[in-house]
Amino acid sequence: MNPVRQSFNRAASSYDAVGDLQHQVATSLTAFIKTKLSANFDGHLLDAGCGTGYCLGQLVPSYPAAKFIAVDFAERMLQQLPADPRALGINANLENLPVCTGKINTYLSSLAWQWCDATRAAKEAARVLKPQGELFVATLVTGTFQELAHGLQVCGLNPDQHLLRCTSRAQIQSALEAADIEVLTLSSTRITTWHADFSALRHSIRGVGANHLPQQTTPALNRQTRMQLIEAYEGLRTARGLPLSYEVLTIHARKR
């Protein structure tokens, strides 16, 4: 099985307990969506990379006439979805959605695109969207985990071998435009989480399943290198603790 899928499956039962960043981003994204969708919206809304259904929990009560499709590639995440007859859960990949062409009125995805090829994800979003259908995406871009990257470099290690390689803002915009999706707004926000020690920091990443890379097997660190990394990271400590930053790009776009 795909190691990333395995990791998210293992994290499913604990995801909501430790996913503070994910909830913060999803809450912001769904609040933004509510400013754009009328209360009588009765179309199909797709949550691509739905996880445990946090976004659906924010949106389903607000749109009683809508139909919801929730897609995630980790089947155990889908088992955590809130029961609702209007929400159909599907185990699938964002790059190959089992959804009819031109069926979706509104496409949303919160912190899932960073695990995908942006070009393929954008093309698939464009395929399932109706003309003039809207897309709302929050994803991680370059600049995420900058403190970890710094620590690895101090230890003489290549961050690309140990950290998720996030796509740049410009690359995502180009992918959307190439898919004939008109970008309406792009906004970047840096969110920094704070941790008592390096172990707690790593747990925050592992607890939401984000501890495996799609590109390759992550090289293991020996004890000496791990201690060097912790020492390097301690140099970043403030009164609030050890920082871990995420660069979040929020996109509002429309299928032409």
DSSP assignment of the chain, as one string? --HHHHHHHHHTTTHHHH-HHHHHHHHHHHHHHHHHS-TT--SEEEEET-TTTHHHHHHGGG-TT-EEEEEES-HHHHTTSPP-TTEEEEE-BTTB--S-TT-EEEEEEES-GGGS-HHHHHHHHHHHEEEEEEEEEEEE-TTTTHHHHHHHHHTT--GGGTS--PPPHHHHHHHHHHTTEEEEEEEEEEEEEEESSHHHHHHHHHTTTTTS-SSSPPPPPPHHHHHHHHHHHHTT-BTTBEEEEEEEEEEEEEE-
Cα distance between residue 11 and residue 77, in whole Å: 8
67-72 and 242-255 beta bridge pairing: unpaired
pLDDT attached to residue 19: 65
Amino acid, single-letter form, for residue 199: S
Cα distance between residue 88 and residue 71, in whole Å: 8
Phi/psi class of residue 180: alpha, beta or left (left: φ > 0; alpha: ψ in -120 to 50)? left
Supply the CATH classification number for the domain 3-142+165-191+246-255.
3.40.50.150
Amino acid, single-letter form, for residue 249: L
Q: What are phi and psi of 187, to 5 degrees?
A: -140, 135
pLDDT attached to residue 207: 55
pLDDT attached to residue 233: 93
Rounded to two decimals, the pTM is 0.89
pLDDT attached to residue 247: 94
**Residue closest to 233 by CA, chosen among 200, 186, 210, 256:** 200
In order along its 256 residues, the chain shows pLDDT tens digits of: 555 555 555 544 444 445 688 899 999 999 999 999 999 999 999 999 999 899 999 999 999 999 999 999 988 888 888 777 788 999 999 999 999 999 999 999 999 999 999 999 999 999 999 999 999 999 999 999 999 999 999 999 988 888 888 999 999 999 999 999 999 999 999 999 999 999 999 888 875 445 445 555 567 788 999 999 999 999 999 999 999 999 999 999 999 9
Structure letter (DSSP) for residue 254: E
- Integer angstrom CA distances of residue 21 from 16, 32, 123, 196, 208: 10, 17, 27, 16, 10
87 alpha-carbon distance from chain centroid: 20
**Tokens found for residue 114:** 């960073």
Exposed/middle/buried for residue 186 (C-beta within 10 Å: 0-12, 13-18, 19+)? middle
Cα distance between residue 113 and residue 197, in whole Å: 29
pLDDT attached to residue 6: 54
